[in-house]
Amino acid sequence: MSGGGAQALVAAVCKVPLLGEALAASFEGIAELRSFPGELEDIDGLLRSLHPDAVVVDSRSQAAQAEPYARASQAPLVHVLLREQKLRVLRNGDWEADDSDGASAEAIRNAVVAGLYGRQPV
């Protein structure tokens, strides 16, 4: 995260626009959220230009495109599996199932915050 007390920057690349809107409300006062449409080309290039502290995506193709940036920058990458109502998180170079209850905006926020501050969710 950038110094000087600035909020963390979280990039959300969402094919489902309502997810981006729900995340904006859940991150209010915690992090600056920038939402992008999921149909964008070259998500890795977008992330490398933006330099977010964390990334949220809602499709497997976006997760695959965001993974190189997340690995190189060690930024938390949260993949929302909407149909399954689950999350998976790229931690220490490996994809792990998140143990949170479902894929609510709050569960996503909590997974991002845990990744940013180096704690595993309880």
- Predicted confidence (pLDDT) per residue in 18-77, tens digit: 898 999 999 999 999 999 998 888 999 999 999 999 999 999 999 999 999 999 999 999
Residue 73: CB atoms within 10 A of its CB come to 16
Confidence band (pLDDT; 50, 70, 90) for 4?
very low
> Mean per-residue pLDDT for 73-85?
94
Backbone angles phi, psi at 58, to 5 degrees: -125, 25
pLDDT tens sequence across 103-119: 999 999 999 999 888 76
DSSP state of 3: S
pTM of the model: 0.90
Residue 3: the pLDDT is 43
- 64 Cβ partners below 8 Å, 6+ apart? none
Give the helix, strand, coil percentages of the chain, each rounded to 5: 35, 25, 35
If DSSP codes are grouped into helix, strand and coil, which group holds residue 18? Answer: helix
State the Cα–Cα distance between residues 21 and 29, nearest whole angstrom.
15
Residue 120: the pLDDT is 56
End-to-end CA distance of the chain: 23
